[in-house]
Amino acid sequence: MAVKLLTIGTFDLFHPGHVALLERMCDLGGWDSRVSVGVNTDDFVLAYKGRYPVMTLVERLEMLRSCRWVDEVLINKGNADCRPLVEEVAPDLLVVGSDWVEKDYLRQTKLSREFLERHNVGLLFLPYTASISTSSLRRRVESVA
Ligand code: CTP
């Protein structure tokens, strides 16, 4: 049976750090893996980060759909409450980059250990790629503009 993996994020200015995470997810699930990505809405990003993403939701969805490691792309309509998306996808593993280890991922997503256990979902932090991020790309663009 396919191993279902889900990650949820903004994925603005789609970059090699994002790709590395998605490729690792695919490797982890083996030949029969199914990688789903939940994408945050523009308004949620504004509320959470205080500014709109550079790329619209539609553009971010399109980039993710073109990625060879991704099987399914969904809108995270629950915004800060990721429970509806987790219930919809019903993954075996919920995956996030290790930059979240210190940021209380469960509280910020309204998930809890109890919720994940009840739905048989494991939570896994994969290595964060330190050399690049959406924020650093934004700064790079500003510095050359
Ligand atoms: N991620 C990663 N390595 C990076 C950047 C992101 O593993 N260099 C992971 C994050 O941990 C998250 C997912 O990719 O699980 C989506 O991250 P996102 O916040 O969209 O990208 P960032 O580049 O981290 O954006 P920002 O700089 O705004 O925080």
Per-residue pLDDT of the chain (145 residues; tens, 9 = 90+): 789 999 999 999 999 999 999 999 999 988 899 999 999 999 999 999 999 999 999 999 999 999 999 999 999 999 999 999 999 999 999 999 999 998 899 999 999 999 999 999 999 999 999 999 999 999 999 999 7
Report the C-alpha gap between 36 and 70 in whole angstroms. 6
Report the C-alpha gap between 127 and 75 in whole angstroms. 24
The pLDDT, as a whole number, for residue 145 is 75
Residues contacting 131, CB < 8 A, separation 6+: 17
C-alpha neighbours within 13 Å on the C-beta side of residue 144: 5
The pLDDT, as a whole number, for residue 29 is 84
Measure 10 CA to ligand 1 centroid, in angstroms: 8
Q: How is residue 139 written in tokens? A: 């700064």
Answer yes or no: is the C-beta of 7 below 6 A from any ligand 1 atom: yes
The pLDDT, as a whole number, for residue 30 is 87
3 state SS of 111: coil
Tally Cβ neighbours within 10 Å of residue 28.
Answer: 15
The pLDDT, as a whole number, for residue 113 is 95
C-alpha neighbours within 13 Å on the C-beta side of residue 108: 13
Longest CA–CA span in the chain (Å) reads 50
CA angle, residues 79, 57, 17, in degrees to nearest 5: 90
3 state SS of 76: strand
Task: Output phi, psi for 2, to 5 deg.
Answer: -60, 140
From 10, 15, 59, mutation site for ligand 1 pocket: most ligand atoms within 8 A of C-beta: 10
Measure 82 CA to ligand 1 centroid, in angstroms: 17
